[in-house]
């Protein structure tokens, strides 16, 4: 049955990569699909109580270099002067029309890189159309924003600046404000020959955002050879994550973020939820193509343990419920509460660190787990 589901999904072309991401990323995705195809041929036990730990560990420890999920790569070739300037600009409220919003108003760097609201409040308290994704590891996404209308971080910044619900301003106004600040004039002048310009502001912020890679997660330490970095329950959760087929969409070092996917492959998610909105049309709002209705960029799960509520609509409050809904509408399966709890345990091993500190407090036992 699992193999038939996988074949059905392929025939329906539920994923779209084509020319949307680099060749290396497409090759990695195809490699992950082949692994999923083989995994789906393995009959699932009725519950993980029937899955001997030794068997799960033998699959996990055979050769971790070929796992569908790989450790996050540290950022390289970043001009640290631009990183520092970009960090200042990330917190700069003068980028907005009313001088009261900055990137950090919606993206909390001391916790999850997003916020905790279904829909962030923008200018004048207006709710934004979709849930705010985390900025951490966002440079690894093949496109930006839920509907992929931004091809890179620089374009994403443009959309925020010009959105009536967010910064509601124009670049000449921002440039004019910053040119009045001697510190900014000096900082830009030392880095950019042409000083303060819109492209340079975008470049500095995007360079800072490219530095926001959450390294040293417990799961990455496991992949790099520390067998004690995650618990037996978390290892079983990872095995289930693969066996159920979650890795078909959530794979690579970012555990997702590298393809578009229809929300509701099995059943109509939106009919069940009710109250349809324009944002629910997803990528259709960008391309106008009927086949892109309800198509969204698959989110990274690297910080899923910290970024509730879930989905583009922010309608799901808990990670357990998110796993259950995804299993039903994306895999056509019902997963037991026991298995869901183990998958969630695995997902909690994925957040890493920012500035050397564990994000969100989910790694309180991280050092203890590494201890001999």
- Residues tagged active-site: 166
- Exposure string of 210-229, with b = 16+ CB inside 10 Å and e = fewer, is bbbbbebbbbbbbbeeeeeb
CA dist 338 and 240 (Å) reads 11
Q: Annotate 107-145 with DSSP letters as a single string.
A: --TTTTSS-SSSS-B-GGGPBPSSPPPP-TTGGGSSSBS
Burial string for 352-365 (b: 16+ CB within 10 Å, else e) reads bebeeebbbebbee
Closest CA to 25 of 145, 111, 109, 142: 142
Q: Residues 6 or more apart from 27 whose CB is under 8 A from it?
A: none
C-alpha 218/C-alpha 175 separation (Å) is 42
Q: What is the dihedral of CA 353, 117, 299, 159, to 10 degrees?
A: -100
Residue 190: phi and psi, rounded to 5, are -75, -20
d(CA 339, CA 327): 11
Query: Count of CB atoms within 10 A of residue 279's CB?
Result: 17
Give the Cα separation of 275 and 207 in Å (integer).
Answer: 38
- Residues 6 or more apart whose CB falls under 8 angstroms from that of 25 comprise 17, 142, 252, 258
Cα–Cα distance between 145 and 161 in angstroms, integer? 14
Q: How far is CA 122 from the centre of its chain?
A: 21
């Amino acid at each position: 049955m699992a193999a038939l589901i996988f074949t059905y999904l392929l025939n329906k072309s539920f994923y779209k990569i084509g020319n949307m991401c680099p060749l290396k990323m497409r090759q990695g995705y195809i490699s992950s699909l082949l692994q999923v195809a083989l995994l789906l041929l393995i009959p699932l036990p009725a519950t993980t109580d029937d899955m001997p730990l030794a068997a799960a560990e033998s699959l996990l420890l055979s050769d971790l270099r070929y796992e569908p999920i790989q450790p996050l790569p540290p950022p390289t070739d970043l001009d640290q002067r631009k990183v520092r300037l970009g960090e200042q600009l990330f917190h700069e409220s003068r980028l907005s029309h009313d001088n009261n919003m900055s990137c950090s108003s919606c993206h909390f760097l001391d916790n999850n890189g997003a916020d905790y609201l279904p829909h962030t409040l923008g200018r004048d308290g207006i709710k934004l159309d979709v849930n705010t994704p985390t900025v951490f590891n966002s440079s690894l996404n093949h496109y930006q924003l839920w509907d992929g209308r931004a091809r890179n971080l620089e374009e994403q910044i443009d959309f925020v600046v010009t959105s009536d619900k967010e910064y509601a301003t124009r670049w000449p106004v921002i440039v004019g404000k910053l040119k009045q600040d001697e510190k900014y004039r000096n900082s830009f002048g030392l880095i950019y020959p042409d000083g303060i310009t819109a492209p340079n502001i975008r470049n500095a912020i995007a360079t800072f955002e490219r530095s926001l890679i959450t390294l040293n997660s417990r799961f990455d330490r496991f992949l790099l050879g520390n067998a004690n970095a995650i618990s037996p329950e978390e290892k079983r959760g990872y095995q289930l994550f693969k066996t159920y087929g979650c890795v078909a969409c959530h794979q690579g070092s970012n555990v997702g973020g590298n393809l578009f996917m229809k929300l509701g492959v099995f059943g109509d998610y939106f009919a069940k939820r009710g109250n349809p909105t324009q944002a629910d049309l997803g990528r259709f709002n960008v391309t106008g193509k009927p086949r892109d209705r309800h198509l969204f960029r698959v989110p990274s799960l690297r910080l899923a343990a910290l970024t509730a509520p879930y989905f583009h609509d922010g309608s799901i409050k808990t990670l357990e419920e998110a796993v259950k809904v995804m299993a039903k509408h994306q895999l056509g399966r019902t997963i037991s509460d026991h298995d869901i709890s183990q998958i969630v345990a695995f997902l909690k091993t994925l957040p890493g660190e920012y500035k050397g500190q564990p994000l969100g407090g989910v790694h309180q036992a991280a050092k203890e787990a590494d201890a001999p």
